[in-house]
Amino acid sequence: MMVQNKQNITLNPSELCADLRTYFESGITRSYSWRKKQLLMLRRFLLEQEEEIYEALQSDFRKSQAETYFTEIHYLITEIDAALKHLKSWMKKRRVPTPLRFQPGRSFYTREPYGVVLVVAAWNYPLQLAVAPAIGAIAAGNCVMIKPSEQSPATSELLVEGVGRYLDGKAIKVFPGGVEESRQLLEESFDYIFFTGGIKTGKQVMRKAAEHLTPVSLELGGKNPCIVDQNTNIPVAARRIVWAKFLNAGQTCIAPDYVLVDRNAEEELLRCMKDAVEAFYGTEPEESLDYPAVITEARLEKLAGYLDEGIVVTGGSTDAGRRYLSPTILREVSPDARVMTDEIFGPVLPVLSYETPEDALRVVRMARHPLALYVFSGDRSFQEYMIQNTQSGGVCINDLMFQAAIPALPFGGAGESGMGVYHGAAGFETFSRPRSVHVKRTFPENVLRYPPFSQKKFNRLRRLFRLFS
């Protein structure tokens, strides 16, 4: 299948992939100088096209400049700077000890690029989720095909134009389009696939990748719990939870999906969270310049269906024409309600109370492997108890989401929240594979290794192996 971009240039996925593979086989992308130049040009794109990025995200989401800067532009510049700082070190061959029985010789391994990488991005952070994996793939020396989301068309077009203008277009390409275009791309044989999105689509990607034995990374989602102990600063916890939940109108894969609060602190937390919503977005969040839209009317309709599954503490109003759902907090929600079994992915936050830490764990374990776990507590033993008795992609204590913003920390899921990690060195390693090398001399020659093996010769070899093990 062929599609046309805005400039009416015909895009054929098979031809584009063949071109990328030919270019990779030329060896150009393996050099340090090429990798460094692409990262520098990507950084330049983000800086020089800052206003255009603001306009694109405003068009797609009604995102504020501040939110776009911190969650898209600055986030990516931080990743690029970390890659530029450490790239030479990451590319160095790593020497390892050679056992005496294999001497004389030396052993080491290098990190080799996979080849042609497909990055399938999600719509909720359309620039970040397209570019951040590409940073690791470029740093590792790969050619890259980026498939942006059709649900963020302005950002998608910006990527097409920006990559074509700033980067090596023979090595890095953007393939716009919808579900059909994604399906066509997955028919091609890539060397690595990196997917960000929902669990259902992630499984489809993995099935298609298996046909070509292509390794994958899946960054998915899940029910991210936020556990609030009574032994914490409740007003601070409330502000931080409200900030993290309603950033991007709740459309963040690592946003807290629900809150579990000690019953003794429940009323104070709810009061402080309600105050925080008003402090951040005013009494009319619909008019706030800092509160974006829900991505589609269909998503809005699904989210509105959760509003009757608890008592509304604040919020609960909608405007289909503006794709608006006010920041909503629910209380007295059943653990069996749909809002507690679905991944919400929007501005609705259920708050449940617990009597004991064991009660909280029972609720958390209903969803098994969240992408993130959040714990507010001043008690180290409580913190450790929650970490040791749960499984999640990452953890943040007494704050939220920053575990994904630190380049030195690997970011990824566990179980149904995903597989594989990226960011910083982890991204470089994800998009490269270790290649082991052992170098020998032709002298001296150990003739004992060759057959035939008499009993005497075998006994001698066995003694030598035991001696030098």
Note the residue count of the chain. Answer: 469
One-letter amino acid for residue 194 of the chain:
F
Distance CA 414, CA 73 (A): 27
Distance CA 160, CA 451 (A): 62
Say if residues 247 and 71 touch (Cβ distance below 8 Å).
Answer: yes
Distance CA 409, CA 426 (A): 8
Tokens in use for 293? 């839209």
Catalytic pick among 17, 143, 253, 272: 253
253 is catalytic: yes
Catalytic pick among 72, 79, 157, 219: 219
> What percent helix, strand, coil does the chain show, rounded to 5?
45, 20, 35
Tokens in use for 170? 């023979």
From residue 123, give the alpha-carbon distance in Å to each of 117, 130, 466.
19, 9, 59
Distance CA 128, CA 75 (A): 8
Distance CA 232, CA 261 (A): 11
Return the closest-CA partner of residue 325 out of 349, 350, 351, 348. 348
Distance CA 425, CA 406 (A): 11
Return the closest-CA partner of residue 38 out of 162, 166, 175. 166
Distance CA 235, CA 147 (A): 42
In which element (H, E) is residue 173 found? strand 172-174
Distance CA 296, CA 95 (A): 52
219 is catalytic: yes
54: CB partners within 8 A, 6+ apart = 65, 68, 69
Say if residues 418 and 412 touch (Cβ distance below 8 Å).
Answer: yes
Which residues form the catalytic set?
Answer: 219, 253
